[in-house]
Amino acid sequence: MGNPAGAAQAESAAGPRLNEDVDWDLFDSAAYFAHNYSTLRPDDGEIIRIVADFFEQQKQQWPDTWRPKAIDVGAGANLYPALTMLPFTGEITLYERASSNRAWLTEQMEQEDGPSPTWKQFWAEMIRGRSAYQTINDPLNLLTRRARVVKGSVYGLQPEQYDIGTMFFVAESITTRDDEFERATRMFVNSLRAHAPFAAAFMKNSSGYRVGENTFPACSVDENDILRALSGVARDVTINPVESNDLRDGYGGMIVVTGRKKM
Ligand SMILES: C[S@@+](CC[C@H](N)C(=O)[O-])C[C@H]1O[C@@H](n2cnc3c(N)ncnc32)[C@H](O)[C@@H]1O
């Protein structure tokens, strides 16, 4: 895998951490949101441009009346992957293992004033020159009507359930183990129906991360590792490196991938 020395260091310091080893309910959603998404960063802006262009282009091949079922896997305290799918879906599943993040997502959906106005900055990037997004007047209100928060693990996803999907910073950020990274990536894509478009984002060469008072594991991956994980399940795969170096220590940029589920 990419940066094997970094990965070995992460494992020798604390030992390998399987997804099951971690108490995900300790994930501090408010701290994560404040650090990552309280304002729109240039790296997220770049990811939005790539993903929104891709989904808008895919839409041209769908009948206008079709309202695909969408999933965002490991949604965490982030609503922007779901927003990138909003113009193209009838319902969006925000799928999340941690009870803290499910509570945060539910509060965003149910609070009287709607989701945090911060997300308007992210939406502003999506509507720039993209007619599919421009047709929506009140995206945060529409999101609250279309989205539902669902408890679940990426490793428990059933095949061929959804028509469009996103998974941002999950497969490589929930385990130190290469095999678990690969399985999470494959199970995400396999949860989609044949030809379904997807977008996935990854931290490159990550050595783990801190959220609030707790540290969480990561698997150090690069473009080749991602391509290998996707090779049996995806087609039309495009890998886009995204420059990023000031979010935190211990990573080497971001990678965003678009593609479609294989037959
Ligand atoms: C680094 S965060 C990414 C959150 C969000 N998608 C984003 O873009 O910022 C990793 C997320 O994966 C979730 N997670 C951990 N194990 C999981 C599993 N087995 N299945 C689904 N999600 C999981 C965590 O609770 C957390 O929300």
Q: Which domains does the chain have, with CATH numbers?
A: 4-261 (3.40.50.150)
Mutate to test the pocket of ligand 1, among 21, 24, 43, 179 (most ligand atoms within 8 A of CB): 24
Q: Which atom of ligand 1 is nearest to the CA of 153?
A: 20
Q: List pLDDT tens digits, range 10-30.
A: 443 557 799 999 999 999 999
Mean of per-residue pLDDT scores for the chain? 93
Question: Does ligand 1 have an atom closer than 6 angstroms to the CB of 153?
Answer: yes
Mutate to test the pocket of ligand 1, among 35, 36, 97, 177 (most ligand atoms within 8 A of CB): 97
Angstrom distance (rounded) from CA 87 to CA 102: 23
Instruction: Kindly give the distance from the C-alpha atom of residue 124 to the centroid of ligand 1, in angstroms, as a whole number.
Output: 25
What pLDDT score was predicted for residue 1? Answer: 56
Average pLDDT over residues 25-52: 98
Confidence of residue 95 (pLDDT cuts 50, 70, 90): very high
- Kindly report the protein residue whose alpha carbon is nearest to atom 22 of ligand 1: 74
Instruction: Kindly give the distance from the C-alpha atom of residue 201 to the centroid of ligand 1, in angstroms, as a whole number.
Output: 12
Q: List pLDDT tens digits, range 195-227.
A: 999 999 999 999 999 999 999 999 999 999 999
Contact 94, 17 (CB under 8 A): no
What pLDDT score was predicted for residue 67? Answer: 80
H, E, C per residue of the chain: CCCHHHHHHHHHHHCCCCHHHCCHHHCCHHHHHHHHHCCCCHHHHHHHHHHHHHHHHHHCCCCCCCCCEEEEECCCCCCHHHHHHHHHCCEEEEEECCHHHHHHHHHHHHCCCCCCCCHHHHHHHHHCCCHHHHCCCCHHHHHHHHEEEEECCHHHCCCCCECEEEEECCCCCCCCCHHHHHHHHHHHHHCECCCCEEEEEEECCCCCEEECCEEECCCCCCHHHHHHHHCCCEEEEEEEEECCCCCCCCCCCEEEEEEEECC
Q: Residue-wise over 92-123: b if at least 16 C-beta within 10 A, else e?
A: bbbbbbbebbbebbeebbeeeeebbeebebbb
